[in-house]
């Protein structure tokens, strides 16, 4: 496990060549990877078709656990979507230049994960075609959406987030698409021609572009807080023991950034290796992402501790029972996976030595992803399976349909990301150039 | 600009005398209050002392967390303002000493010292509660002293040659084993980064505990998982407002001349603006969940402060003026206006952030807001709205309230000045 070395690009051409080389004709491994992902997505689609035909009885969802893998996975993917906006918007406003090498990849992940997340409420409602009932518009049914329901707030929160993250992604891409348009000769040239929106790189265009990015950052920053807060309120507004708790909003946001940052590492490590991007995604980037992981893992650990303490402190037997059940009841294994992966596994990253060890970082990031999926599973399932009345307690086991769709969601995300890699520059060329020139000038 | 760091300076006479007088005034009011024959006055004095302590202790410690956060994030925006932030932490050891007064007044403040709380019998006992809080504050004082020592030491190179008297002796002790300035700076930077992480982590745990024991325990059946974090964040946010205010007041002092530039004011303004939103976010996240859940053991705490109906249904304005006239509601809303509404709307644009008078006014307002907010966290738990309606006198601006506030302001800024007085280059408004 060698530490990361960080050679830097030597000339402006080196940036264009190095980054645009990713767009060269694909290797067989890439093709196999994309086909595998497509196959898994196909399997998920088949499972969904079966569920739609046979009804929700083919899932493990049954009283008292009516929210299971689907809602867990929805929250998981919405969480993953947070890293992109954090890196693109908040770090932009804080003038953290190191973001430049990873922001494009993270923004793309945001778009694909929020789209993946958006599928799950549809899958969960069973009657997919009734989804438009959630949209408020004057209609012949004489029905109006229930604005008092946090589930309705979700429609707006996630919808807004999807629009803003796509806008952010598309606006940031314009100059690089233009660079690709001027270089690529195959069929994609026409696509880039359209998407580049006539970009010529004039001073006037750059001025508009940088102002657009600044304003979009300002708009997107509150969204980092609001989206996952609203998702957390799906639970916190209820009276279910273990769900109704005031710390949920900031705790979910910290958890979302935690898992999002871990997914950025999970995805970028192989990409960096496969496309020889070591010159652009360097040691400092892993060091800084590692610091974010440490910070957010600590916040998440603090929230776990406070939840357990307050459950005891409340002197409320239902609350105490719910948390006892989490740690030592039917789902003890899920809870301890969550605590181990989210609090204990990231501890070595307090030391720089581990943050700079790429293999260690990658393995840690995968375990965090697993831990964060289980965090949502633990909250949802343990809460519902042991509510107030012991006669209504139950145990939930996901069916093969749910597990197939869960696996397909990962395949769906990676499929889009792989396709993106071949279509658009994975690193924001003009931003890394700017950073290097400013760095050179400062010296 | 170059600053002569070779000699510690004399304590600035006028400000020191003024703050000394305020401290004396506070002491007189406090001693007069606690030795009064009227039991209500004794209770009121301790109550006011607790709420002031909660503000100033967390502010001072929060300032060091801000300093640590700037170090951990490689923040370059602070420049010499960073030393000013460190100087705000000089009150930390005194906050530990002042905590003794809260211990002394425990029977006047905490109901659980008279009768056990169901389900928390062993958690709220005099020895365990105050034992752990003293331990937490002693630990925080220790960590803060080590942090400040590491932060100040590299700039004492010149002073160790020239300083005399007890100040010289102190500086000699703080610079024992001097390795030369460059080596000292490098070593301190490395150690400071580690200490910064320890300090921030310790603060989160210790001040969460203080939030539970000193505020939540006043209404011992109330539960909110957010509250410990909400209280400790408040310390951090009030430290940001204090930093902005002092940077502006001292912008013509020796160390800061030409340093509080337009760009730095913009940065300070952005910090006040952003963190006021964050404060509101925490407030709202706690409020909304409690309002929506509508469980009596949770709503009681909010209802005592924001009225029996939490101002709901006021869209129709029916009964709005009656509800807003309920005890404490207007005071709570004042804090809310000062801590969020005004900072948000006034500092929204770039220009107000850069204009000293506007930024200074907003930062002062926000500090007053935090003082009122600490008042409102404590008082309604001890003097219920029903008691207020029955005629119990409560006002944030009574003689005892303002007298003890004066005392805290005096002590806080005496510590601030003394820090700069002993350690050259550390700050004081000598020529302000």
Q: What is the mean pLDDT of residues B219-228?
A: 94
Determine phi and psi for B256, rounding to 5 degrees: -105, 0
Residue A245 sits at the chain B interface (C-beta within 8 Å):
yes
Residue A239 sits at the chain B interface (C-beta within 8 Å):
yes
Q: What percent of chain B has pLDDT over 70?
A: 94
Q: What's the confidence (pLDDT) of residue A15?
A: 66
pLDDT band (50, 70, 90) for residue B422? confident
pLDDT band (50, 70, 90) for residue B21? very high
Contact yes or no for A236 and B225 at CB 8 A? no
| Cβ partners under 8 Å of residue A4, min gap 6 | A278, A282, A283, A286, A356, A357, A358
d(CA A15, CA A100): 13
d(CA A155, CA A77): 15
DSSP string, B257-273: TTTS-HHHHHHHHHHHH
**Which of B285, B302, B348 to probe the A interface (max A CBs under 10 A)?**
B285
Q: What's the confidence (pLDDT) of residue B71?
A: 86
Give B197's contacts in chain A (Cβ within 8 Å): 350
More confident residue, B181 or B205: B205
| Cβ partners under 8 Å of residue A60, min gap 6 | A68, A69, A396, A397, A398, A399, A402
Least confident window among A138-142, B57-61, B75-79: B75-79
Chain B, nearest residue to A306 by Cα: B225
Report pLDDT digits (tens) over B132-165.
999 999 999 999 999 999 988 888 877 777 777 8
Q: What's the confidence (pLDDT) of residue B44?
A: 94
Domain ranges for chain A: 12-26+61-136+145-397+422-442
Q: What's the confidence (pLDDT) of residue B420?
A: 79
- What is the distance in angstroms between the Cα of B286 and the nearest Cα belonging to chain A? 5
pLDDT band (50, 70, 90) for residue B314? low
| pLDDT at B3 > cutoff 60 | no
Fold of A12-26+61-136+145-397+422-442: Formate dehydrogenase/DMSO reductase fold (1.20.1630)
d(CA A97, CA A433): 11
Where residue A6 falls (left for φ over 0; alpha for ψ -120 to 50; beta otherwise) is beta
Give B119's contacts in chain A (Cβ within 8 Å): 313-315
d(CA B110, CA B381): 10
pLDDT band (50, 70, 90) for residue B4? low
Residue B292 sits at the chain A interface (C-beta within 8 Å):
yes
- What is the distance in angstroms between the Cα of B182 and the nearest Cα belonging to chain A? 20
**Which of A93, A232, A247, A351 to probe the B interface (max B CBs under 10 A)?**
A247
- The answer to whether the beta carbons of residues B103 and B432 sit under 8 Å apart is no
Residue B302 sits at the chain A interface (C-beta within 8 Å):
no
Question: Tell me, what's the ipTM?
Answer: 0.91
Report pLDDT digits (tens) over B315-358.
566 677 777 888 899 999 999 999 999 999 999 988 999 999 99
Q: What's the confidence (pLDDT) of residue A12?
A: 62
Contact yes or no for A306 and B277 at CB 8 A? no
- The answer to whether the beta carbons of residues A80 and A113 sit under 8 Å apart is yes
Q: What is the mean pLDDT of residues B281-288?
A: 93
Q: What is the mean pLDDT of residues A139-162?
A: 87
pLDDT band (50, 70, 90) for residue A143? confident
Q: What percent of chain A has pLDDT over 90?
A: 53
Report pLDDT digits (tens) over B381-405.
999 999 999 988 788 888 999 999 9
| Alpha helices, H only, A21-149 | 28-54, 69-80, 82-85, 91-93, 103-125
Contact yes or no for A315 and B119 at CB 8 A? yes
Q: What's the confidence (pLDDT) of residue A434?
A: 67
Residue B21 sits at the chain A interface (C-beta within 8 Å):
no
Q: Give the CA distances from residue A174 to residues A15, A75, A84, A139, A167, in Å, rounded to whole numbers and listed in that order.
A: 17, 31, 18, 39, 11
pLDDT band (50, 70, 90) for residue B374? very high
Q: What's the confidence (pLDDT) of residue B426?
A: 59
Contact yes or no for B227 and A246 at CB 8 A? yes
d(CA B144, CA B148): 6
Residue A288 sits at the chain B interface (C-beta within 8 Å):
no
Question: Which residue is it, tokens 């801590």?
Answer: B339
Q: Give the CA distances from residue A68 to residues A240, A382, B45, in Å, rounded to whole numbers and listed in that order.
A: 15, 10, 54
**Which of B69, B121, B225, B286 to probe the A interface (max A CBs under 10 A)?**
B225
Residue B237 sits at the chain A interface (C-beta within 8 Å):
no
């Amino acid at each position: 496990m060698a530490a990361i070395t960080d050679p830097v690009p030597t000339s402006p051409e080196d940036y264009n060549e190095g980054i645009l080389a990713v767009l060269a004709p694909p290797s067989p491994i890439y093709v196999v990877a994309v086909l595998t992902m497509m196959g898994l997505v196909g399997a998920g689609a088949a499972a969904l078709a079966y569920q739609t035909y046979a009804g929700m009885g083919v899932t493990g969802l049954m009283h008292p656990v009516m929210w299971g893998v689907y809602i867990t996975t929805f929250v998981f993917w919405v969480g993953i979507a947070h890293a992109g906006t954090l890196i693109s918007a908040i770090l932009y406003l804080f003038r953290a230049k190191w973001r430049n090498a990873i922001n494009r990849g993270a923004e793309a992940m945001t778009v694909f994960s929020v789209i993946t997340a958006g599928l799950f409420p549809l899958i969960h409602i069973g009657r997919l075609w009734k989804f438009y009932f959630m949209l408020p518009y004057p209609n012949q049914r004489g029905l109006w959406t229930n604005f008092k329901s946090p589930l309705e707030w979700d429609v707006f929160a996630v919808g807004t987030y999807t629009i803003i993250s796509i806008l952010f992604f598309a606006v940031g891409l314009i100059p690089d698409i233009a660079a690709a348009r001027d270089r690529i000769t195959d069929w994609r040239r026409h696509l880039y021609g359209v998407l580049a929106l006539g970009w010529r790189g004039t001073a006037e265009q750059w001025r508009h572009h940088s102002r657009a990015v600044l304003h979009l950052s300002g708009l997107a920053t509150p969204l980092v807080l609001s989206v996952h807060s609203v998702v957390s309120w799906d639970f916190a507004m209820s009276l279910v023991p273990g769900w109704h708790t005031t710390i949920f909003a900031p705790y979910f946001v910290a958890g979302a950034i935690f898992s999002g940052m871990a997914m950025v590492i999970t995805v970028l490590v192989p990409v960096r290796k496969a496309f020889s991007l070591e010159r652009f995604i360097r040691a400092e980037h892993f060091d800084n992402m590692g610091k974010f992981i440490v910070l957010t893992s600590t916040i998440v650990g603090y929230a776990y501790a406070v939840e357990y303490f307050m459950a005891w402190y409340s002197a409320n037997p239902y609350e105490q029972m719910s948390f006892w059940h989490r740690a030592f009841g039917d789902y003890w294994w899920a809870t301890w996976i969550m605590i181990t992966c989210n609090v204990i596994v990231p501890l070595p990253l307090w030391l720089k030595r581990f943050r700079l060890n790429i293999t260690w970082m990658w393995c840690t990031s995968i375990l965090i992803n697993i831990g964060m999926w289980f965090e949502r599973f633990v909250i949802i399932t343990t809460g519902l399976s042991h509510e107030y009345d012991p006669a209504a307690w139950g145990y939930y086991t996901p069916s093969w349909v749910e597990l197939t769709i869960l696996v397909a969601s990962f395949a769906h995300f990676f499929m889009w990301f792989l396709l993106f890699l071949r279509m658009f520059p994975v690193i924001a060329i003009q931003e890394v150039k700017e950073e290097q020139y400013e760095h050179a000038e400062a010296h | 600009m170059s600053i002569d760091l070779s000699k510690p300076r004399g304590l600035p006479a006028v400000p020191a005398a003024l703050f000394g007088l305020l401290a004396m005034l506070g002491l007189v009011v406090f001693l007069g209050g606690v030795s009064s024959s009227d039991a209500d006055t004794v209770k009121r004095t301790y109550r006011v002392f607790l709420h002031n302590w909660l503000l100033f202790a967390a502010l001072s410690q929060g300032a060091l967390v801000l300093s640590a956060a700037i170090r951990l994030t490689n923040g370059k925006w602070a420049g010499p303002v960073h030393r000013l932030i460190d100087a705000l932490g000089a009150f930390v050891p005194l906050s530990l000493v002042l905590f003794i007064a809260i211990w002394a007044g425990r029977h006047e403040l905490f109901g659980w010292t008279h009768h056990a709380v169901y389900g928390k019998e062993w958690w709220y006992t005099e020895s365990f509660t105050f034992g752990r809080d003293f331990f937490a504050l002693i630990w925080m004082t220790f960590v803060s002293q080590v942090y400040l020592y590491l932060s100040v030491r590299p700039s004492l190179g010149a002073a160790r040659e020239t300083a005399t008297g007890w100040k010289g002796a102190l500086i000699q002790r703080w610079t024992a084993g001097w390795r030369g300035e460059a080596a000292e700076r490098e070593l301190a930077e490395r150690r400071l980064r580690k200490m910064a992480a320890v300090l921030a982590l310790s603060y989160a745990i210790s001040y969460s505990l203080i939030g539970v024991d000193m505020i939540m325990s006043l209404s011992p059946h109330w539960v909110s998982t957010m509250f410990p974090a909400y209280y400790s964040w408040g310390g951090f946010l009030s430290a940001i407002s204090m930093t902005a205010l002092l940077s502006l007041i001292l912008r013509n002092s020796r160390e800061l001349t030409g340093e509080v530039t337009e760009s730095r004011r913009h940065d300070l303004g952005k910090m006040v603006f952003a963190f006021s939103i964050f404060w509101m976010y925490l407030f709202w996240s706690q409020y909304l969940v409690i309002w929506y859940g509508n469980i009596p053991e949770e709503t009681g705490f909010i209802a005592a402060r924001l009225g029996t109906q939490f101002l709901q249904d006021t869209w129709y304005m029916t009964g709005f003026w009656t509800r807003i006239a309920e005890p404490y509601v207007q005071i709570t809303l004042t804090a809310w206006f000062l801590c969020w509404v005004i900072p948000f709307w006034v500092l929204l644009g770039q220009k107000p952030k850069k204009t000293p008078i506007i930024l200074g006014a907003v930062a002062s307002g926000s500090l007053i807001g935090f003082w009122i907010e600490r008042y409102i966290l404590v008082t309604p738990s001890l003097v219920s709205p029903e008691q207020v309606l029955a005629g119990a006198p409560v006002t944030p601006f009574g003689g005892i309230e303002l007298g003890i506030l004066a005392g805290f302001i005096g002590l806080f800024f005496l510590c601030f000045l003394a820090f700069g007085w002993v350690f050259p280059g550390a700050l004081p408004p000598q020529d302000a």
